[in-house]
Structure 1
Amino acid sequence: MPSNTHHRASWTARTCTWLSLLLSLEVSAAEHAPSFATHSAQYSPYFPSAPYQEPPPSCHVTQVNVLQRHGARYPTLGAALDMVSSLSKLQGRKSYPSELEFMRSYKYNLGVNSLLPAGALESRQAGKEVFERYCSRTRSDDCGEPFIRASLSERVVQSASNWSLAFSYEARSSPPPILTISERIGAKNPLENRCPNGPPSLKEQREWQDVFAPSIIARLETVDPPFGLDGLDIVNFAHLCAFESLALEATSPFCGLFREEDWEAIEYHGDLSKYFGFGHGNPLARGQGVGYVNELVARLTGDRTYIEQDTTQINHTLDSDSATFPLDRKIYVDFSHDNLIAPVVSLIGLFNDPPLNSTHPDPHRRWVFSEIAPFGGRLVVERLSCSAGEHVRILSSDAVQPLGSFCEGALANGLCRLSSFVKAMEMATAIGTEEYRRCF
């Protein structure tokens, strides 16, 4: 874990040009970055989808709830094994098409699971951003100490630590402590996804591979004998592009295998994975978000009844104690995984498109996972005190979300009365609790 001294010296951490652009806090840099950086779905680095909009003049923020994914990491063991398997089809050849000439000297050298320097920087930028946005000394509001939790895996805890260090550096205070919650099987954890009866479906991804991959395979299969590539190999090469670029802080040679239009297809492959695996397309997915949403409502209202009545993932030993689940903070920050953020946004009612089609993408769909939960992605729920009463506003990757589809009386500027939001969440969690029971 970095010390305070190392933290202060590391603000000029080495990053390549496109990553520096993506981590800029001033403007969205998506249009200036290479396509792989913004179209790698769950493996994209964080970038703001829109500039942050200040609340209306008649409102001020009284509470901030951040649900954030850990920063960029090396691939998981399963993903690494898949990529190595695809690489084996390319290695040891005497001739290569021009796009694959680099394979003559290529060596796979990625780690497994652990946080990357780029991922640490994502969390530090996020902590700095929250302080500047809600607690700057130029504002009258006093933020106090944020309450920070992390699901207990190394990359998640390290992301929370980097966030805490960055926030404390800006606040000129000691780093806020981090409460960790076990991810072991059987442990109650509202920041963890676990549904044994609802494994992710791969059918839709395979169907989409059969649509977009053949043209890419044809470009690469110009040797004799052929490599024997299939659609999954193409996806694995795209993942190699994303992971190596983040790890090397330079563009991976695998990125050169894909054209601009290919990246939209790669992105849709990832969108299908998360939609049918952990989002609206999985009938058991929403139940995995019930614990967190009940905790969110308890914080927004100051009413512990919502957590006391929860029968899903809430750890009642922790949440019954004001030391480990306070209701008097302005800022709450929870670090978790993308597979928890997807059920949470689905349960709330965000990004609810018509069902995604596995062969014909809707270019106007809202379920775009590089904007929902990329590495370092965050969902922010603000509570605001306005001249017309208490309201909530939700931002995903800084873009204000429309709430009218589920929050009665929601306004065009994204505001909805707190009472209406709470009522909508009560209905959603009641349905989600029934879905949760079917997971076991």
Structure 2
Amino acid sequence: MLWLVMELSLQLLNPFWPAGYKGIDVRAQSPLKVGSDCQTPTATTPSSKLPDYFETTLGWYAGPTATGESPWLAQTNAAPFAGVSYIPNTPLETQAPISGNKHGRNVFERLGHMSPYFPNPRGFGVHEYPIPLGANVTWLNMVHRHGSRYPEVGGNELRLARKLTEAKGKFQAHGALSFLNDWRNVLGAEILVPVGKQQLFDSGTLHYYQYGHLYPNDGSRIIARTTTQRRMLESAEYFMAGFFGLGWTQNATLELVIESKGFNNTLAGYNACNRTSWDMGGKTAREWAEVYLLDAHERIRSNIQGDLDWTLSDTYSAQALCAYETVAVGFSHWCSLFTYEEWEAFEYSLDIAFAAGTGFLSPVGRAIGIGYVQEVLARMQHHVLSSPTAQINTTLDNNTVTFPTHQALNFDFSHDSNIISILVAFGLTQFAEYLPPTRILPDREFVMAYIEPFAGRLDIEVIQAPAPINPNRSVAIDKLYENGPPTSYVHFVLNQRTVPLGRSLKECGERDDGWCEMNTFFGVQKMQVEKAEFEWACFGDYEMPEYGVVRDGRPPKKE
């Protein structure tokens, strides 16, 4: 009955609805599925007669939205510590003294996907080159992670917080752990924290400086896409405000794609995949935690007396609380409990979890991201997507109103694990290395803090040149262009640093600038789509392999 009421209501609201529309295109043809990690959607009166995918006030599938207490850094900060802050003019206090820290290194770049945004300091193995005189950036596709947030409702961080709250007065903490005697949980859940909003606004401003010329300025509005989760919607809104200003709704329309289990949504592709390898990733990360955390665990336990059963899992969660408290209220006592080496090992545990969860070490790594890859290729080649491939929502992607095909600025907002899978689906094998769970691989490319920190983003540019550009960019200016016809190139920029496409996609060649000739890129990506084996990976009847068996983001071959 609820489904019928919703469908009738949406049809009444939407004079532009495609004929015969039957709700969001779902692989499983079942009505209104709500995942266990989502709240039951509540309908509200829309503010205008817009199609629901352009209506940002309905509040459906917004996910949990628990707000934490307001920050009070002037009162709660044990700083100022000596030294320069992590980022000039930042609201976060990141000069906490860390044992073993040398050469000005900072643990807030060692927090994996929980790191506040920073550009990759070492790059991805290629120099950055300017656009040659006469060539132009003519097209952009950006996929952006949401900003810093509170922990997830079902996460171990909030479980530890509840455990400590329930044990209040039953234990006594000493030494570096003395703060626990008066500690209380001030965290909310799931939604953006203040600095997370700032990250997206700042990114929007940066992208305007980079790509503002691509906006048509002809009175039309571009379509930008996000999901229905509240942190996703607000991330998109803050980005748009940074790019266009507070009147951004005159320049862009936000399209909301339902984020819930069973719904086709390339911005959360795992929801349309019946298989997952997160258990394998979590199990392997725990194995590593049992190696590197033993000393820290004993230090913490030795400073607690009374009725508090402090486990190794609690010690691990305490490291995550450092990350979440810092972005929520500006400072956390948890951070100084661990040495710099233990923070490096913590980051490595998160690298393992994501590599096995949705990366190249996952049997569904390619499948989860392949729908988005197909959307990018369709945008580049100016056509809609009509066939039900992967987790693509064909109701939206087969309609130029909701999937513009000649838009020079394309802004999408997604999640960390989904963007990791997008990189895998594009075939960027420089991130495919095996991460042993017994020791840190020091020079690895797959570093979550560099790839997908909070507010991480992938910018895909198309560059048009009047002639082929010399792959040796260090040549004299008069030799920069080679003889030949006008040529277009594809350029991947991950967190403001070039990803060299030729390093992973050999057909692109060994170019100094990391670009790939556009037609070559299309040919390579056709093969990547086939490699993903979406149906088999997401719906095949195969036994989940052990960690390390998968190295290419797809499951073992069907026998």
Q: Is structure 2 residue 92 aligned with structure 1 residue 49? A: no
1-side partners of 2:215 and 2:254: how far apart? 20
Instruction: Check if 1:63 corresponds to 2:155.
Output: no
What is the 5 A alignment of 1:89-238? Answer: 91-92=168-169, 95-135=172-212, 143-144=216-217, 145-169=221-245, 174-192=250-268, 193-194=270-271, 195-200=273-278, 201=280, 202-223=282-303, 228-238=309-319
Q: For residue 247 of structure 1, report the CA deviation from its aligned partner.
A: 0.6
Structure 1 residue aligned with 2:406: 328
Of residues 107, 120, 124, the one that matches 1:36 is 107
Q: Residues 168-207 of structure 1, C-alpha deviation per residue, up to 9 Å, x if partnerless?
A: 1299883411001011332211111223322412221111
Contact 2:139 2:408 in 1 (8 A): yes
Counterpart CA distance in 2 for 1:54 and 1:422 is 23
The corresponding residue for 1:18 is: 86
* Structure 1 residue 313 displacement after superposition: 1.1
Structure 1 residue 19: Cα displacement: 5.3
Structure 2 vs 1, CA of residues 309 and 329 (structure 1 numbering), >3 Å: closer, same or farther? same
Question: What TM-score does the superposition give when structure 2 sets the normalisation length?
Answer: 0.69
Deviation at 1:93, TM superposition (A): 5.4
Query: Cα RMSD over matched residues?
Result: 2.9
Residue pair 1:392, 1:416 contacting (<8 A) in 2 also: yes
Dislocated runs of 4+, deviation >6 Å: 13-16, 31-34, 170-173
In 1, distance between residues paired with 2:198 and 2:283? 36
CA distance in 2, matches of 1:290, 1:35: 35
1:26 corresponds in structure 2 to: none
Give the structure with higher Rg (CA).
2
Any idea what the Cα deviations from partners look like across 1:357-400, whole Å, max 9, x if unmatched? 11122111111111111111101111110232000010111110
The question of 1:337 aligning with 2:415 is answered yes
Aligned residues: 416
| Structure possessing the higher relative contact order (Cα contacts under 8 Å, 6 or more residues apart) | 1
Q: Is the 8 A contact 1:90 1:103 kept in 2?
A: no
Aligned to 1:427: 527
Shift of 1:142: 5.1
TM-score for both structures, normalised by structure 1: 0.87
Query: 1:98 offset after TM fit, Å?
Result: 1.2
Structure 2, unaligned stretches of length 5 or more? 1-55, 58-70, 75-84, 92-101, 469-486, 540-559
Residue identity matched to 1:47 = F
Change (3 A) 1:143 1:394: farther
Per-residue CA deviations over 1:100-141 (Å, capped at 9, x if unaligned) read 0101111111001111111111111111111101226xxxx6
Tell me if structure 2 keeps the 8 A contact 1:46–1:377: yes
Contact 1:393 1:400 in 2 (8 A): yes
Asked whether the 8 Å contact 1:291–1:310 carries over to 2, the reply is no
Letter matched to residue 241 of structure 2: L
Question: Structure 1 residues 81, 169: closer, same or farther in 2, change over 3 A?
Answer: closer
State the Cα distance separating 1:34 from its structure 2 match.
Answer: 6.8
For 2:442 and 2:89, locate their aligned partners in 1 and report how far apart those are by CA, in whole Å. 25
Give 1:161 deviation, angstroms: 0.8
Identity of aligned residues (%): 28
Q: For the structure 1 residues 130 and 53, does the alpha-carbon distance in structure 2 shift closer, same or farther, using more than 3 Å as the test?
A: farther
Match of 1:406 among 494, 498, 505: 505
Q: 1:369 aligns with which of 433, 436, 448?
A: 448
Once the 2 structures are TM-superposed, how far is the Cα of residue 328 of structure 1 from its aligned partner? 1.2
Question: Whole-Å Cα distance in 2 between the matches of residues 94 and 323 of structure 1?
Answer: 60
Distance 1:74 1:170, change over 3 A: closer
2:165 and 2:185 in contact (8 A); partners too: no
Give the SS at the match of 2:139: strand
Contact 1:72–1:375 at 8 Å: present in 2 too? yes
Counterpart pick for 1:75 among 145, 148, 151? 151
The match for 1:276 is 356
| Deviation, structure 1 residue 225 | 6.1
C-alpha distance in structure 1 between counterparts of 2:414 and 2:363, whole Å? 22
CA contact (8 A) 1:67 1:341 kept: yes
- How far is the alpha carbon of 1:97 from its aligned partner? 3.3
Secondary structure of 1:203's match? helix
The alpha-carbon deviation at position 209 of structure 1 amounts to 0.6
Displacement of 1:268 = 0.7
| Amino acid aligned to 1:319 | D
| Residues 47-56 or 69-78, more deviating | 47-56
Cα deviations by residue, 1:271-292 (Å, 9 ceiling, x for unpaired): 1111101111101121011110
Distance 2:499 2:405 in 1: 25
Partners in 1 of 2:171 and 2:374 — Cα distance?
A: 60
**2:358 is matched by which residue type in structure 1?**
F
Answer whether contact 2:363 2:537 (CA < 8 A) is retained.
no
Kindly indicate whether the alpha-carbon contact (under 8 Å) linking 1:35 and 1:263 is maintained by their aligned counterparts in 2: no
Q: Point out where structure 1 has 5 or more consecutive residues left out of the alignment.
A: 3-12, 24-30
After superposition, the Cα gap between the structure-2 partners of 1:397 and 1:356, relative to the gap in structure 1 and judged at 3 Å, is same
